[in-house]
Amino acid sequence: MRPIGLARVRGESMLPTLRPGDLLLVRYAARVRPGALVLATFADGTLAVKRAASRRETRSGAPGWWLESDNPEQGVDSRHRGPVPDVDVHAVVLARVWPRPWTDLRRVSRPVPD
């Protein structure tokens, strides 16, 4: 069984999907798929939650992931730092556990067209 852990969101780079203070359930060493939210370390040591957009080769030729922010105006991602090697993509986000998803309907509701 792969280890499970918790991660807390800091910053606004993943708005509107995630907000600062959200607590996430993550699975370490899980298989990453395009579109998944992942916990990764950039080359400068920054640990971040980003969206795995696509597979890309790193500058050194190692296999890696192109990681993007959902809110690109607020975040630093692969558009600024390049692809992240597989070894630096640590975990896949399984769920947001706090605040409880059903307590904030503004985040999941959408306007109903007339």
Question: Is position 113 within any domain?
Answer: no
Q: Look up the pTM and report it.
A: 0.84
Residue 114 structure tokens? 């007339």
Identify the band that residue 109 occupies on the pLDDT scale cut at 50, 70 and 90. Answer: very low
Residue-number span of the structural domain to which 38 is assigned:
4-100
Give a yes or no: residue 114 inside a domain.
no
The one-letter amino acid code at 85 reads P
Residue 73 lies inside a defined structural domain of this protein:
yes
CA dist list (Å): 34 to 20, 51, 90, 110, 113: 23, 8, 15, 25, 30
At 64, list the tokens: 């890696």
Cβ atoms of 62 and 52 within 8 Å: the answer is no
CATH code of the domain containing 73:
2.10.109.10
Number of domains in the chain: 1
**Predicted confidence (pLDDT) at residue 102 exceeds the cutoff of 70:** no
What is the arithmetic mean of pLDDT over 32-38? 97
